[in-house]
A and B are shown apart, each in its own frame.
Chain A
Amino acid sequence: MSPQPARSRSAIEVSALTVRRSKQNVLEDVHFSVPRARITGLLGPSGSGKTTLLRTIVGVQRITYGTVSVLDRPAGDPALRREVGYMTQAPSVYADLTVEANVRYFGAMHGRRRADTVDALSAVGLTELAHRKAADLSGGQFSRVSLACALVAAPRLLVLDEPTVGLDPVLRVDLWQRFKDLTTHGTTLLVSSHSMEEAGRCDFLALLREGRMLAHLTPAELRQQTGTDDLEAAFLSLIRDSEAAPAEGKRP
């Protein structure tokens, strides 16, 4: 393992990031940072490049131009595989295994024990269904298995791509509380969503649109800047502003 580099205040630093795919810029000159031990929400309409940005951070997407540093190392550095947990947007679990076998397997890849599996299952409310085959679950339950597979690793950075899609409101509130608890233990979360209701639960927001970073601020700043309490309306107003003055993305 390479020597521990100097510790910066951000868990993730993205600078001048451009990703080209099939001759199109999916991300264009993105600058953005994610503070440690906080929840940062990555928001934007579908097709805005959220998943691509998350994929560059976990190191599975090749970078065309720019730099992405994660926990003071370049994204994709082998040492990061121990530190970063990733939940893909489409649930990536084994449909022909039980819920518990899935979580235990991904836990084993991180050297976790059975007790961690139990914890992760209770966090997503699947304790009762632990011995059911994943294929027999409903869509929402299935994606919770995928989330548990990311939580079980107990990494320092959790990158979650739309983790609460298809969840009932009660469970959604529970999970956000769980995310909050994780940050008090020093875990950094980067969570993508297209629900503005969830944006209010984040400490920081990054708003992405058509591959460009529109704004990077706290929910309070967003409300203040746009003069509305409704985050949905605030986001729309930001988009309108950016269309009026398309030259530069706003940065606080």
Chain B
Amino acid sequence: MNLRSLAATALRVLRQLRHDPRSIGLILVVPALLLALVYFLFENETVPPGAPRTFDRVGLMMLAIFPFVVMFLVTSITMLRERTSGTLERLLTTPMHKADLLFGYALAFSLMAALQAVVASGVAYYVFKLDIAGSPGLVVLVAVVNAVLGVALGLLCSAFARTEFQAVQFMPVVVVPQILLCGLFVARDRMNEVLEAVSNVLPLTFSVDALLEVAGNVDATDAMWNDVAVLSLIVVAVLTLASLTLRRSSA
């Protein structure tokens, strides 16, 4: 690994993004708007005094889902372009190490994810009074790990797509099942055994669990750190798989 080419790569990815205001909007503004949408959906709900609002549960989970979905989408398309435009092949003829490319991407998008998490959780806390016990810093931490997970899966999936259209098709296959099974719609302990078992091994489940731990406890719990550790391991494993798809020579 070479820090200079890693940093140059992260900077380059951020520069590409800067020329694309719409993607910046997707990353920074859309999550806040969607949070507002969810808030107003449940605006007229009546809850017994002391019971949590639905928004407190759903809004919190959305803070985990946004960075994952958005970064998966942005990364898989950017990386696919890198593969189809020939820039990837060219990069692989330079002294650059594959890890410089992968971690450069991960670094650039986790910076964006951190900004996204600050904006989205800021809106959730201050505008919609999201009620959680733990520290907002931990929410941002989980969001960033989640974004890196989205980046890693996006890098990997781009290897199996030939066009941008095919890359987008991975959304319903890779992302939607994780959203359905992460506990957003049905609490995981109320799923049937098969679905719960599947849900137990899906990465997004760990991030939602981690956020629920942050929401329920004033201090960081072991269970939360455990979830974050598992997520990090999954990220490393997926990045390793992704690096195998970066071949320097082809038949």
Contacts and interface: CB of A to CB of B under 8 A. Distances in A.
B93 A110 contact: no
B85 A92 contact: yes
A88 B4 contact: no
Contact of A88 (B8, B89, B95, B96): B89
Given A62-B249, A97-B15, A86 B85 contact: no
A241 to B, nearest CB: 34
Contacts of B93: 58-60, 81, 84, 86
A81 B8 contact: no
Nearest to A56: B249
Interface residues of B, number: 24
Given A84-B93, A109-B8, A95 B15 contact: no
B18 to A, nearest CB: 9
A207 interface: no
Nearest to B20: A96
A23 B85 CA distance: 26
Contacts of A96: 16, 19-20
A111 interface: yes
Contact of A105 (B8, B248, B251): B8
A95 to B, nearest CB: 7
A147 B15 CA distance: 21
Interface string B108-138: 0000000000000000000000000000000
A93 B4 CA distance: 20
Contacts of B8: 105, 108-109
A229 B129 CA distance: 85
A61, A86, A93, A109 pick with most chain B CB within 10 angstroms: A109
Interface string A144-181: 00000100010000000000000000000000000000
B12 interface: yes
Contacts of B87: 92-94
Nearest to A58: B93
Interface in A55-97: 58-62, 76, 81-82, 84, 86, 88, 90-97
A81 B96 CA distance: 8
B15 A81 contact: no
Contacts of B91: 106, 109
A106 B89 contact: no
B4 A94 contact: no
Interface in B44-90: 85-87, 89-90
Contact of B94 (A76, A98, A109): A109
Interface of A: 21, 58-62, 76, 81-82, 84, 86, 88, 90-98, 101, 105-106, 108-111, 133, 149, 153
